[in-house]
Amino acid sequence: MRGEDNPGEDRQKQSPHRLPVRPIEWVQVGINGGLAVIAIGALCIYHAQLNEMAAGRKNTEAQLRADVVSIDPVMWPMDAQNKQVTKDSPNIAGWSVSPGWKNVGSTPAINFKSGYAFSETPRDWSKDIHEIYKTCPARPKISSTATRLSPNDPRVELGKNLPIDVAERAQNGKSAIFYEINATYADIFQKPGDPLHHYYVCVLIEVHDAKKSDFSFLQVSRESD
């Protein structure tokens, strides 16, 4: 038989036919690989740009957001009938003290709520003065009434009475007088569910000469975000 006569010929017919890889196919593989590398690089650059834009937006919001701070109180001398008098009047029975707020930011403070309280505590001279100043009383309650505080808009709290006998006790070193103000507010960049901004300050009223309405204010503690 033919296969028996030429076994080499049969093995040649049964062997698979291998096609050579043409140079153009290697070029296509190289191009596809290069495009993949370029695409990955572009995605990395785009991601970095997004992060940079997000950081820039946060910085811009921080620069433009509302920023509420406290300002020194307005103190009006009052007589026994609760009528305003001059600071050199012999009829001073006390003072109406109104701490204030100011929005030093570039955009409005919205949903602004605040609280204000007075307190008098005994002065313990056996303690370091800085330790005494840390003993501010409990924080005042926040009002339920919300308002809007525009940029550079000062706002004062409703005045509370500081009697002259309390001021004289502080002047004589028998007690310390504090006022505390507490506020919460939002800015226009906040989203629903974001925590409100807050501001708290405790101030010691130093009485130098009650009869001359000579006071100064020392900030004891402050918290804000």
Q: Tell me, yes or no, whether 117 and 218 share the same domain.
A: yes
Alpha-carbon distances, residue 86 vs 24, 65, 72, 216 (angstroms): 100, 40, 19, 18
At position 166, the amino acid (one-letter code) is: V
Q: What pLDDT, on the 0 to 100 scale, is given for residue 207?
A: 93
Q: Tell me, yes or no, whether 84 and 35 share the same domain.
A: no
- The answer to the question of residue 170 being in a domain is yes
Q: What is the pLDDT of residues 195-224, one digit of tens each?
A: 999 999 888 899 999 988 999 998 888 888
Task: Count the domains in the chain.
Answer: 2
Q: Tell me, yes or no, whether 85 and 142 share the same domain.
A: yes
Across the strands, what pairs with 219? 203
Q: Tell me, yes or no, whether 200 and 135 share the same domain.
A: yes
Question: Residue 70: is it exposed, middle or buried by C-beta count within 10 angstroms (0-12/13-18/19+)?
Answer: buried
Question: CA angle at residue 103 from 99 to 107, to 5 degrees?
Answer: 160
pLDDT (average), residues 146-163:
88
pLDDT (average), residues 18-43:
64
Q: Tell me, yes or no, whether 41 and 114 share the same domain.
A: no
**Is the pLDDT score of 62 beyond 50?**
no
- The answer to the question of residue 9 being in a domain is no
Q: Tell me, yes or no, whether 162 and 173 share the same domain.
A: yes
Q: What is the pLDDT of residues 71-117, one digit of tens each?
A: 888 889 999 998 999 988 889 999 999 988 999 998 999 999 998 88
Q: Tell me, yes or no, whether 87 and 173 share the same domain.
A: yes
Q: Tell me, yes or no, whether 114 and 145 share the same domain.
A: yes
Domain range holding 23? 19-64
Buried b (16+ CB within 10 A) or exposed e, 15-46: eeeeeeeeeeeeeeeeeeeeeeeeeeeeeeee
Q: What is the pTM of this model?
A: 0.66
Question: CA angle at residue 196 from 199 to 198, to 5 degrees?
Answer: 5
